[in-house]
Amino acid sequence: ELKDICICARSLGYTGIELTPGTLIGHILRMPNEDLQYIRSIIEDNGLQCTGLHWLLAHRTDLHLTTTDAAVRQQGWDYLRSLADVCAKLGGTYLTLGSPKQRSGPGINPKEAASILRDGLAELASYAEERGVVYWMEPINDPGCDVVDNMKEAVEIVRGVNHPGVA
């Protein structure tokens, strides 16, 4: 129960909580605004704030950001765009883009996949800024991730976008 988690977190001295879209409900984008406001009120009524969202695509195995399938790729980016709205409604300020399985490039080399990632984030940057949120590029040093697996590559993506909506 979210309320119990918030009570526990606050008792331990935390002031914020980061949410994972897939743990809130099966399909967060189908949640009515009233439900999002209810979640936000549970968090805030217990002395916390929603800091942001992470594991953005972990529960969405049907989506991918760098695949050669343009339709699937577009669905992935559309989903991330919609999550900016959800994050803002929950009071969050950032969306951590980890999700290594949805950004590693099957059938595409890592440099090409990183370029697609950069371009996709560039397209979302202004949208995020208008909503008061930022997409954070998380480097993931894991054998299952071959795209942006170190800080240098993450910095290259962020600098390549060069927009306050991406960090």
In sequence order, what are the beta bridge partners of 136? 96
The chain-wide mean pLDDT, for the chain, equals 93
The pLDDT tens digits of the residues spanning 101-126 come to 888 877 889 999 999 999 999 999 99
Q: Kindly state the average pLDDT of the residues 85-94.
A: 97
The DSSP annotation for 148-165 comes to: S-SHHHHHHHHHHH-STT
Residue with the two structure tokens 């526990």: 8
Tokens of 96: 């951590």
Q: Which of residues 101 and 63 earns the better pLDDT score?
A: 63
Could you read off the pLDDT of 25-42 as tens digits, one per residue? 667 888 899 999 999 999
The model carries a pTM of: 0.93
Of all helices (H) and strands (E), which one includes residue 95?
A: strand 94-97
The amino acid at 166: V
